[in-house]
């Protein structure tokens, strides 16, 4: 989600399954308004050889109606070259 400042994980499935401990709670703005969400310590890594692990804090949010369990925010994208072409139906993410 290139509009998201922070990356997010599904609170119910990811945070609870991995038994992550909430470190903080902050007010988060979204398309539907704002709400308080827990922050979790996490690491992001593409499943490719030689990609670095990026340490960050992620918000736990409700993603159960979405087809994915995490959103990549600008906190990860700032370490990458991200290319998206809607007309070509192409994207690339290089860390």
**Per-residue pLDDT for 1 more than 60?**
no
Partners of 43 in the beta sheet?
A: 55
Q: What is the dihedral of CA 67, 73, 77, 78, to 10 degrees?
A: 180
**Per-residue pLDDT for 21 more than 60?**
yes
How much of the chain, in percent, has pLDDT values that exceed 70? Answer: 98
Question: Which pLDDT score, from 0 to 100, does residue 2 have?
Answer: 64
Distance CA 72, CA 1 (A): 6
Q: What mean pLDDT, rounded, does the chain reach? A: 89
The two three-digit tokens of residue 54, written as one number? 């990026």
Q: pLDDT digits over 27-65, tens only?
A: 988 777 888 999 999 998 888 888 889 999 999 998 888
**Strand bridging mode 70-71 / 8-10:** antiparallel
């Amino acid at each position: 989600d290139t509009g998201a400042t922070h990356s997010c994980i599904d609170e119910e499935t990811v945070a609870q399954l991995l038994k992550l401990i909430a470190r903080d709670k902050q007010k988060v703005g979204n398309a539907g308004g704002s709400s308080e969400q827990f922050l979790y310590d996490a690491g992001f890594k593409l499943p490719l050889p030689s990609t670095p692990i990026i340490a960050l804090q992620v918000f736990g949010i409700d993603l159960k109606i979405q087809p994915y369990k995490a959103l990549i925010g600008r906190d990860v994208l700032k370490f990458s070259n991200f290319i998206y072409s809607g007309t070509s139906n192409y994207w690339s993410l290089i860390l």
